[in-house]
Structure formats: C-alpha cells, structure tokens
C-alpha cells in the first residue's frame, strides 16, 4: 500500500500551483521579453503601442524621471517623429493621436521660432526639439487632415531659428574657429562663444533644414560641411579642435581614418577620449567612435555630400571595420565611466539609420532587430538599466530610440 501521509490535499495542491504560476508571472514581468517569433514586426508593434499609451492628455510625452524632459518640449517631437516613421500596417495610430501631438508642438513654439524655452530655468534642448518639430510638420504636410493653414509659415519660422542658431560670422565665428558651421544646445551664448556644441546637434539641424529645402544648396549646408571636416579630422579642415591645440598640431600627423568624433569644443563629451600619439608618433587627436561616425555620415548626406565622395566612402569603410552591433566600438571598454553601455540604444538607432542611408549590403536588419528585441519588457517598453549617464534609463527616450532602430530593421523602405 502506498503511504499518502506526505501528499498534499487537492486544495493545497491547487494553492501551490497558483503560487508557482504567480511567481513565474512576476519574474517574467520584471525581466526583458525576448522575442520568440521570427516576425521582427512584433517588437516594433509593442514598442509603438507602449509609446502611444504614454501620450498625455495635452498631446505630449513627458518624463516622470528627468526635470529637463518633463515639459514635453523635447520628448514630444522626438517620440512623434519616431512613431510617424512606423507604417500603420504594423501599428495603427490612435484616433487624434498624431493631431494632438502636432497641436502640442504648435502651441510650444516661441517668438524666436524654437521649442525648449518655455521654462526660463531649464533649457530643454532647443536645437534638438526644433529640428524634430520641423521633421514632424514636414512629414505630414501632404495630409490635409493633419495640417493647419499656417503650418508653412510655422515651418519657415522654425527653420529661421535653426539658421540663426548656426555658429557663423553673424555671431562672431570665423572659419578658423572649431565650432564654425556647427550647432549646439541653443544660439551662441555670446560673440564667438558657442557653449556646448557637438556633432549630434549639428546632424539634426542639417537634416531638419534639408526637409525644408530637399534639393537646394544653401550657405547653411556649406558652413556645416566645414564643421564636419573638423570632426572627421579631414586634411582639408580649416580649424583645429581645442584639445589638439594644446599640442604641436600638424595635419600631416593627425590620422584621417574616416571616422568621426563628437565635439571639437567640449573635450569630455568625446566618448572615444583623447590620444596624443598614434603608433608611437606625436599625433594629438580625439579618437573616432561608432555613434559619432554614424551621425557624421548622416550629416554629410543631409548636407548634400554625394555617397561616392571620399569623406562618405572613408566613413563607411570605418563602419565596415567596426561592425559590432552590440557595442559602439571606439569607446574604450576600460574607462571608469561606462560610456559604451550608456549609449547602447543610441548606438542601435544611429547604426540602423546610417546603414539604411548607406544602403548597407549586409544582413544587418535581422541581426540588429534580434539584438534590440532581447531588451524589451513585456509591456513593450525599453529601459537601459546598464547606466543612467545618457538618460537611457528614461523609458520614453529609450523606447523611442529602440523604435527608430526597429523601424529601420523592418524594411528597406526606410532607406533615405
């Protein structure tokens, strides 16, 4: 006869099963959801649904985590731009969702033609915000249900602000200044004083202005090319990065490897860091790294530089030699601060944008889609838990970056 004294009663067994299932559910809810399907559109659909679910009553997207992103002036055009690129066959947009977001943008444009100045105590990335606002408004300009009568005038006003914010002669910069032709957080702080400025802001401004004048050449683009030569360490650059000027600078010794660095003004912003030598020889330079090089390629193409230009070809070759999709190569892995991990999702996004723009021949779409999707939570969101240094632990920002990457992974239709 079997001894049943240690067996649970039916009701106890049921309670145990319920507890086990609940524990498994809670464990899954707190862990990234790895895609179990070969359909790469599912992670993208989930990400979009999450972003739409976070749209506020005023039509904007607001950070609950960072004060500098709380007003929605920066997040709203960024998130909306990412969502507008997603086909509705993948994720249907909620009724009036786009219209309410556009209205939020329109209401927050100030007299200068910028977003980001609403709070006098917090500057909310005016150049970034304004550039994405232009791209959102131009993306819907052929849809009469989404446009307003004065949108063309508004786009012109926004564009005028961006042109004014470029560092040029009008603000006391000449071609020997390392910031000349580029953009920063906002307009110049004073005559010849740029404040924070970098390649990422420059890329967004150039792309936005290109949306307004799709084919024309303009002085804005010509000046931008001069700045891009500086951050690519091109032998034809007319200016010297500030960090390099502390050393004996010679264009013959500074390496032109095709890659880009981030800023010739804010030394610590360069995540590839600084090197005074190359192969044992004096060669002061900021090292190239992957995210900056992707931004550089996109800025060159937006400025009107042909794909067969040496600067584009050399940048593409640098990316081919540094093709790790999981880590932005060129960023040291032994730095005390984990910059490579901090820009993980930015790397996914700009890598996908650059590959699409360069019409990359490799099978990167499926590989990158799987890499991105493995970080997705069950609610469709993304959050960079590795480091808060670049605010990628903010789920709206991080999910927006992931959405950009997954959109470009989805189809070649997103090629520029």
Which residue in this structure is represented by tokens 């991990």? 341
Separation of CA 196 from chain center: 17
pLDDT, averaged in runs of 10, over the chain (416 residues): 39 46 40 46 97 98 95 97 96 96 98 92 94 98 94 96 97 95 96 95 98 85 96 89 58 81 93 80 85 98 97 98 97 90 98 97 92 98 95 98 96 50
Give the pLDDT score at 335. 84
Grouping H, G, I as helix, E, B as strand and the rest as coil, residue 287 is coil
Q: By the 8 A CB rule, do 211 and 132 touch?
A: no
Rg (CA), the chain: 24
- Collapsed DSSP state (helix, strand, coil) of residue 164: helix
pLDDT tens by residue, 44-83:
999 999 999 999 999 999 999 999 999 999 999 999 999 9
10 Å Cβ neighbour count for 58?
15
Positive or negative CA dihedral for 101, 108, 296, 288? negative
| Helix (H/G/I), strand (E/B), else coil: 276 | strand
Q: What pLDDT does residue 16 have?
A: 44
Reference 320, options 293, 298, 302, 301; nearest CA is 293
What φ, ψ does residue 42 adopt, rounded to 5°?
Answer: -65, -45
CA distance 274 to 289: 11
What backbone torsions phi and psi does residue 51 show, to the nearest 5 degrees?
Answer: -60, -45
Token code pair at residue 255 = 């390496």
Report the C-alpha gap between 35 and 106 in whole angstroms. Answer: 38
Q: Count CA within 13 A, CB hemisphere, residue 216.
A: 7
How far does CA 139 lie from the centroid of its chain? 18
Sort strands 281-286 and 274-278 into parallel, antiparallel or unpaired: antiparallel
Give ∠ CA 299-382-135 in degrees, rounded to 5. 35
Quote the pLDDT of residue 386.
93
């Amino acid at each position: 006869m079997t001894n049943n004294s240690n067996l649970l009663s039916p009701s106890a067994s049921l309670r145990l099963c319920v507890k086990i299932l609940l524990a498994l559910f809670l464990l899954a809810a707190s862990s990234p959801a790895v895609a179990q399907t070969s359909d790469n559109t599912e992670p993208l659909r989930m990400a979009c649904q999450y972003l739409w679910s976070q749209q506020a009553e005023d039509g904007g997207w607001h950070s609950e985590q960072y004060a500098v992103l709380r007003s929605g002036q920066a997040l709203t055009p960024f998130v909306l731009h990412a969502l507008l690129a997603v086909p509705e066959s993948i994720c249907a947009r909620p009724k009036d969702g786009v219209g309410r977001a556009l209205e939020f943008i329109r209401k927050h444009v100030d007299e200068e033609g910028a977003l980001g100045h609403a709070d006098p105590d917090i500057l909310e990335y005016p150049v970034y915000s304004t550039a994405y606002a232009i791209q959102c408004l131009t993306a819907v300009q052929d849809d009469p249900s989404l446009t307003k009568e004065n949108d063309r005038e508004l786009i012109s006003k926004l564009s005028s602000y961006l042109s004014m914010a470029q560092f040029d002669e009008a603000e006391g910069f000449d071609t020997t200044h390392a910031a000349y032709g580029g953009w920063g957080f906002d307009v110049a702080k004073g005559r010849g004083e740029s404040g924070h400025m970098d390649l990422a802001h420059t890329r967004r401004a150039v792309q936005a202005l290109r949306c307004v004048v799709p084919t024309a050449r303009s002085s804005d683009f010509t000046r931008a090319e001069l700045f891009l030569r500086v951050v690519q360490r091109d032998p034809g650059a007319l200016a010297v990065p500030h960090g390099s000027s502390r050393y004996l600078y010679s264009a013959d010794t500074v390496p032109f490897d095709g890659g880009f660095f981030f800023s010739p003004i804010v030394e610590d912003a360069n995540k590839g860091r600084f090197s005074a030598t190359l192969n044992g020889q004096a060669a002061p330079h900021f090292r190239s790294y992957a995210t900056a090089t992707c931004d550089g390629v996109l800025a060159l193409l937006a400025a009107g530089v042909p794909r067969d230009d040496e600067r584009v070809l050399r940048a593409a070759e640098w990316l081919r030699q540094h093709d790790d999709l999981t880590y932005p190569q060129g960023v040291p892995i032994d730095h005390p601060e984990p910059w490579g991990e901090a820009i993980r999702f930015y790397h996914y996004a700009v890598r996908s944008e650059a590959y699409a723009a360069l019409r990359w021949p490799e099978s990167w779409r499926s590989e990158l889609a799987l890499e991105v999707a493995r970080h997705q939570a069950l609610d469709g969101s993304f959050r960079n838990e590795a480091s808060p240094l670049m605010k990628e632990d903010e789920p709206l920002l991080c999910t927006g970056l992931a959405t950009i990457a997954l959109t470009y992974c989805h189809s070649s239709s997103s090629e520029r």
